Amino acid sequence: MTITSLEGIIAYPVTPFRPDGSGIDEQAFRRVTENLLRSHPAAIAFLGSAGESAYLTDDEWRRAAKVGVETVTGRAPVILGVSELTTAAAVSKARYAKEIGADMLMVIPVSYWKLAENEIYSHFEAIAAATDLPIMAYNNPATSGVDMQPALLVQLVSKIKTVCFVKESSGDLNRMHAIRTLSNGEIPFYNGANHLTLEALAAGASGWCTAAPNLLDDRPHALFEHMRKGRLAEARELFYQLLPILGFIVVGGLPTTVKAGLRLRGLDAGDPRPPLKPLPDAPRRELEGFLATIGVGAISA
């Protein structure tokens, strides 16, 4: 499947683990994926932040990637998240992604020691050289410790042939303004900050990268369609309905809150990996209330 354009919702599954900590719960993983495929996604992105990519062993990452690709079986483009401290590990995963038939990579550099811009550039360059898959450059300083400025993101897309998209999760809309301005509107950028989606779409984002469809089904897609068709009042109304949940999953951490919400919906996707703990009782009940208020029901088997 060649990705020429990409507009709408890019949906992020969580990665379910077996209760004994021994690895991926593949059956639950498939159910999570099937549920997302019903939410009108433009693409499915496995092993992103929501997918606890950083918490998997190398073997687990490869197994999850393979199961993901096989489950989707061409019903949507498949994007795989590559978030590695070393360039060597990122290159190795990029090659594997190509090998198993993924359609695209989403690459976020991760830091322990602060990275200079030319170090980040070389990281992307090496990954791009390892495969011909299109790449989405993903900025999320809060989780990765690396903050790529708009000028660097535009440079990555302009100079490295297969880097084609930008995902911006810093929550600073000025970044989107800058990307659009610096690229004369030619670089498609995607919103990764759930709680600012209404505004990011107003600012011209081509889509919304989100784990929210795990809990909200096709409501994110409906919000996107309202904005795409200029139904601003309807979009605003829907956005403020969804906002309590969108804010909740951002503040509480996606794997923790989305896995709790899936369990509330009857799909047991397990718990996040320690040191992350399951969502405590009080916020879980709060989430339950939010879901009930907007009429979210059980997930069909």
Binding residues for a copy of itself, rule: CB under 8 A, are: 21, 49, 52, 54-55, 83, 85-88, 109-110, 112-116, 118-120, 122-123, 126, 142-145, 173-174, 177, 180-181, 185, 195-196, 198-200, 202-204, 227, 230-233, 236, 240, 243-244, 247, 253-256, 272-277
Nearer residue to a copy of itself within complex by CB, 38 or 177: 177
Nearer residue to a copy of itself within complex by CB, 3 or 276: 276
Annotated active-site residue 138? The verdict is yes
Q: Write down the least CB distance from residue 28 to a copy of itself, Å.
A: 19
Whether 152 contacts 121, CB under 8 Å? yes
Nearer residue to a copy of itself within complex by CB, 41 or 81: 81
Q: Which of 66, 93, 167, 259 is catalytic?
A: 167
Q: Write down the least CB distance from residue 134 to a copy of itself, Å.
A: 21
Q: Write down the least CB distance from residue 152 to a copy of itself, Å.
A: 13
Q: Which of 12, 138, 190, 259 is catalytic?
A: 138
Nearer residue to a copy of itself within complex by CB, 77 or 272: 272
Q: Write down the least CB distance from residue 45 to a copy of itself, Å.
A: 16
φ and ψ at 196, to 5 degrees?
A: -125, 25
Q: Write down the least CB distance from residue 2 to a copy of itself, Å.
A: 28
Distance CA 247, CA 14 (A): 18
Nearer residue to a copy of itself within complex by CB, 136 or 242: 242
Annotated active-site residue 229? The verdict is no
φ and ψ at 210, to 5 degrees?
A: -155, 145
Active-site positions? 138, 167
